[in-house]
């Protein structure tokens, strides 16, 4: 079953072998990362995936990340991941770059039913961290892989529990600057690691790019392409 038909679920595919990881750099001529997030680039590099950045130039339009009316969090991140992949493919064509795979992702933090995106300012970051203090929340990361007009998406859903944060700890964290560009106003890979009492799910997914789901999607999209080419021979 194609992953695109599995609604917001992580694909249940075979375990990765060394040959599978090797394939990530050979099955497609180019892999593009349609994200300016340095964390996502670091995660891809961690597993040996060579990629080119494909992000908007200054002044170019970006995907609107506004939450739609009555939109659930899982649908929200899946929609944005798809939209960012489609925008990346359009950007590739406009710049006359070689064909390849476009990887895009979106991450959000959910507490109860409230979606926490990136904070607007220090006061907003403090508000978010107070909401998370001493409680469990969800971190949703949707990743989309697109080649030409074919796109597949998977969703990573993790649970994170924070310790109780006092105002001094919150202020110290905000002053560090780490909260500025991160969903939920924290990054698990930085100083906020001291806040984490428990994590259930994908560490890389909480960082912003679930590596298992990403590699599985790359393989599926490459296999789909190979099947289509075989059928047309």
67: domain CATH number is 3.90.950.10
| Statement: residue 187 has pLDDT above 70 | yes
| pLDDT given for residue 1 in this prediction | 37
Total domains in the fold of the chain: 1
Q: How confident is the model at residue 6 (pLDDT cuts 50, 70, 90)?
A: very low
Query: Per-residue pLDDT tens for 66-86?
Result: 999 999 999 999 999 999 999
Catalytic residue among 20, 106, 112, 168, which? Answer: 106
What gap in Å lies between CA 163 and CA 132, rounded to an integer? 9
| pLDDT given for residue 73 in this prediction | 96
Q: Which two tokens stand for residue 195?
A: 């806040």
What gap in Å lies between CA 165 and CA 171, rounded to an integer? 10
| Statement: residue 232 has pLDDT above 80 | no
Q: Which two tokens stand for residue 65?
A: 């990340």
> Is 106 annotated in the active site?
yes
Range of the domain at 15: 3-232
Query: Per-residue pLDDT tens for 141-171?
Result: 999 999 999 999 999 999 999 999 999 999 9
């Amino acid at each position: 079953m194609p992953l695109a038909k599995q609604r917001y679920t992580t694909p249940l595919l075979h375990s990765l072998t060394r040959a599978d990881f090797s394939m990530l750099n050979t099955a497609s001529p180019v892999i593009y990362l349609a994200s300016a997030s340095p964390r996502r680039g670091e995660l891809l590099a961690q597993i040996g995936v060579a990629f080119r950045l494909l992000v908007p130039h200054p002044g170019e339009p970006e995907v609107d990340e506004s939450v739609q009316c009555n939109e659930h969090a899982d649908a929200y991140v899946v929609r944005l991941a798809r939209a960012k992949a489609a925008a990346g493919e359009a950007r590739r064509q406009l710049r006359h770059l070689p064909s390849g795979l476009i990887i895009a992702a979106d991450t959000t933090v959910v507490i109860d039913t409230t979606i926490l995106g990136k904070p607007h300012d220090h006061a907003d970051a403090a508000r978010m961290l107070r909401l998370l203090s001493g409680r469990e929340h969800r971190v949703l990361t949707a990743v989309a892989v697109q080649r030409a007009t074919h796109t597949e998406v998977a969703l990573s859903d993790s649970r994170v529990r924070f310790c109780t944060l006092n105002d001094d700890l919150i202020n110290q964290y905000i002053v560090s600057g780490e909260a500025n560009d991160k969903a939920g106003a924290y990054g698990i890979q930085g100083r906020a690691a001291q806040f984490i009492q428990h994590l259930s799910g994908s560490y890389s997914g909480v960082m912003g790019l679930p590596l298992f789901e990403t590699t599985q999607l790359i393989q599926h999209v490459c296999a789909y392409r190979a099947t289509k080419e075989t059928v047309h021979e």
